[in-house]
Each structure stands twice: as C-alpha cells, then as structure tokens.
Amino acid sequence: MKQPSQIESRLARRGEIAAHVQDEALAQALAQAADVTLYMVAKRLTDIVVAAVGLVVCAPLFALIALAIKIDSPGPVFFRQVRVGRDRRLKSLPLLRFENVVRMDVRRDDFFGEPFTMVKFRTMRADAEARSGAVWAQAGDPRVTSVGRFLRDTRLDELPQLWNVLRGEMTLIGPRPERPEFVQNFVNLIEGYEQRHFVTPGITGLSQVRQGYDKCLDDVRRKLHHDLEYIRNRTLLLDVAIAMQTIGVMVGHFGAH
C-alpha cells in the first residue's frame, strides 16, 4: 500500500484543524445566539408588563396632561407621527449583537425599516410644520407651547409611547425611532446609519442618557456610535441602568429644549 507523502499528511492535518476550528466557532455562535434569544424573550415580557401597568397607573396623569394641553392651545391632545421601526426582513436577529454581521437580506427600501405610527402628547402648535415641513426642533423653539415645554423638559410627552411598546412596535430601551424623511438623508450621509434598525426602537436609550437632542449632523453621528454600542452589548442589566439614568434625565432636565 502506498504511504501518504509528508505533504499529503500535512494537508490532511490542516483540514482536521480547520474543521475543528469551524465547529468551535459554530458552537460558540450558537451559544451566544441562545443567550441573546433568551434576553430578547425576557425583554419582551418586561415590555408587556411594564407598558400595561404603566398605562393603567398613569391614566390619571394622562387626564391631567390632556386637560392642560387643551387649555394651553387649540388642537388635539395626542400627536401622531410616522417613524421607522425595526428592519423585520432580517432573519438572523440574535447574531446582530455582534459588530461584524452579514445581512441575510440585502434588499433596500426607502426607509430601511418598517414604518409605524408613534404617538406622544402634543407639545407644539397644531400647525407647527404646515409651512416648513419636517425640520429639527431647536433650542427655544417658538413652535413649542408653554405646556409642551414642560412636557419636553420632563420627557412626560413620551409616556403615550407605552401603547407602541404594548403593540410591539417599540421597546422600553433601544435606539430612538427617527422620521422617514430624516432616515433617508442620514443613510446617505452617515456610514452604517441603517444598522440602528437591526433592533426594535425604544422610548429611551443609551444615546438619550449620554447626549441631548440633535442640533446638527455631528450630533447624529455621535448618537449612532452610542446606538451601535448598545446593540452590540445589550443586556437586561444595561437596560436597567439606562432606565435608572433616564429618571435622572427627567428630573434634571438634561438634554431637553
């Protein structure tokens, strides 16, 4: 019988090593994916419980805020606006925690995510964008009402989004959803911006406790950095820490205008 040459033996050995490495990498990826899946289930259950209880407990506060809004300025109590949610075309969501991710679906649409209608308390005049169209809010924005300024300072205007959380369109902690008009521009101007749609958007997030409202494109770039950091490292412990810091933001009025 012909004995394998030294070169053939080396090649066979390399093949065994490569297969072993691939098996180890696959096992590690599956274990990490299982951890993230467990986290996502726990996160969704937390969202449902907190949102349901919050809507019931906050009902009297909602009534007071609604009355104040109606007295302060004409127009509806609630403000509804289309925002961009999670890109639900992705089939490997548990693996999106990691930095180097290959999208399973490379199709593109205009919004890079699923649009949904976000609800919040109205803080501006009813005709705030009748002439200007979609524009950023600014410091001392004259379109903001007196009651609206207080609601923005305390972030109470975001409370109705508990309904979006209950519906599964949003989560308690995650990157803030943006308007389709802005998303289209940001994707073209900021590399990797669409990656923030890998996860469900939140009422508050890492960006909101580290930085104020956007005033320029550089602010958006910095927020994207925080959002991607959260996506790569998200855990229930981090979510709790962000929730506690959000209370500090509401009390200290950090970043509000």
- Contact in structure between 127 and 74 (CB atoms under 8 Å): no
Read off the pTM.
Answer: 0.75
Question: Does pLDDT of 107 surpass 50?
Answer: no
Please report, for residues 13, 24, 94, 101, 102, the alpha-carbon distance to residue 90 in angstroms, rounded to integers and kept in the order given. 37, 25, 10, 11, 10
Per-residue pLDDT of 133-153, as tens digits, reads 566 666 567 788 999 999 988
Question: Does pLDDT of 44 surpass 80?
Answer: yes
Please report whether residue 4 resides in a domain: no
User: What CA–CA distance (Å, rounded) separates 249 from 146?
Assistant: 20
Per-residue pLDDT of 202-255, as tens digits, reads 999 999 888 877 778 888 999 999 999 999 888 899 999 999 998 887 776 554
Number of domain units in the chain: 1
Please report whether residue 211 resides in a domain: yes
Please report whether residue 123 resides in a domain: yes
Please report whether residue 156 resides in a domain: yes
Please report, for residues 10, 35, 91, 110, 176, the alpha-carbon distance to residue 103 in angstroms, rounded to integers and kept in the order given. 36, 20, 8, 17, 22
Please report whether residue 143 resides in a domain: yes
Please report whether residue 30 resides in a domain: no
Please report whether residue 10 resides in a domain: no
Please report whether residue 184 resides in a domain: yes
Amino acid present at 153: D
Q: Could you list the residue range(s) of the whole structural domain that residue 209 is in? A: 40-252
